[in-house]
Amino acid sequence: MKHLISIADLTRDDVERILDSAAELGEIDEKLPTLEGKLVLSLFFEASTRTASSFELAAKKLSADVISLKAAGSSVEKGESLKDTVLTLAAYEPHAIVVRHPQIGAPELVARYSNAAIVNAGDGRHQHPTQALLDLFTMREALCSGDTARLEGLHVAIVGDVLHSRVARSLVQALALFGARTTLVGPPTLLPRGIEALGCETSTDITAIEAADIVYVLRMQRERMEAAYVPSLREYAARWGITPERIRPGQKVMHPGPINRGVEIDGRVADGPDSLILAQVRSGLAVRMAVLQELLVARRALEVVA
């Protein structure tokens, strides 16, 4: 595994290995010397709170040097292209580049202009593989006592703006690797045609969430909507919003963040006893440490053997 661009790059064994090392790394408080002398570049051409901060902290906890660049405040604002930005920063010979970009395929382009291991931190509506890994990790810890085999019996309902969601695409594929059952639920305008091919069911009936062990709520991605997909956010909230009345006690609720309180999720659910939202953030750190370690250490070991 040279890069992590899509969940499709991973086998079930790869995912299991990453989740197992995340479990070990999550137990350790101290800084580790694992990536001493390695340079990790973090390039965010789109807004981020959780993903950018957790990658940066993950790299630092493994003793890597880190350069973090956001489009705002960089020469991207002066019109420098992605290619020129990468060629410039590649001169520092980074070992890994973490990239988020609004365009699908941007991580492949970055891979072409550097020798670094590329980690896709979200490209348009396409893929966000580390989010899916941290979500699987969170599910395994919260509902399967850390046992990967038990993911197989799990039923996950993913609710809302599937159309614009790279999180949903990556998560459906990741859950399918473990034989979990996934139902995508939302208004027909926000359920892409043919998405079942990724290994899931779809429903346009909100009561379809009732049977699920986990209700995974997606943000309404207003910044990616060029047309009106729903009559209004108020109406969306009334018909599809996850309120305490729509879930049962013990049914776990997840959301990748950032949440729109009162739109796709009621604040009482987000802050409630069955919410795993902050557990997801904690998992993000351990899983991203595991991913960096997998790409930068395991790879070198393999090269030495070869």
Positions marked active-site: 50-51, 78, 100, 128
241 binds ligand NCD (CB under 6 A): no
Which residue, 62 or 168, has its beta carbon nearer to ligand NCD? Answer: 168
Q: Which helix (H) or strand (E) holds 100?
A: strand 96-101
Q: Is 159 left (phi over 0), alpha (psi -120 to 50) or beta?
A: beta
E strand residue ranges, 129-266: 155-159, 181-185, 201-203, 214-217, 252-254
The one among 64, 86, 167, 285 contacting ligand NCD by CB under 6 A: 167
Site string for ligand NCD, 85-124 (x = CB under 6 A): -------------------------------------x--
CB of 53 to ligand NCD, least distance (A): 10
CA distance 46 to 58: 20
Indicate whether 131 belongs to the interface with ligand NCD (CB under 6 A): yes
CB of 166 to ligand NCD, least distance (A): 5
Q: Does 126 bind ligand NCD (CB under 6 A)?
A: no
Whether 5 and 118 have beta carbons less than 8 Å apart is answered as yes
Using the rule CB under 6 A, which residue among 134, 170, 257, 292 binds ligand NCD?
257
- The minimum distance between CB 131 and ligand NCD, in angstroms, equals 5
- To ligand NCD, the closest distance from the beta carbon of 258 in angstroms equals 6
Q: Residue from 166, 169, 181, 252 that binds ligand NCD (CB under 6 A)? A: 166
How many Å separate Cα 291 from the centre of its chain?
12
Interaction of residue 219 with ligand NCD, rule CB under 6 A: yes
**What residues have CB less than 8 Å from 228, skipping those under 6 apart?**
none
C-beta of 39 vs 290, nearer to ligand NCD: 290
Q: How many other C-beta atoms are found inside a 10 Å radius of the C-beta of residue 235?
A: 12
Extract the tokens encoding 153.
């019996």
* Burial (CB count within 10 angstroms: exposed 0-12, middle 13-18, buried 19+), residue 96: buried
Q: Which of 17, 20, 50, 243 binds ligand NCD (CB under 6 A)?
A: 50
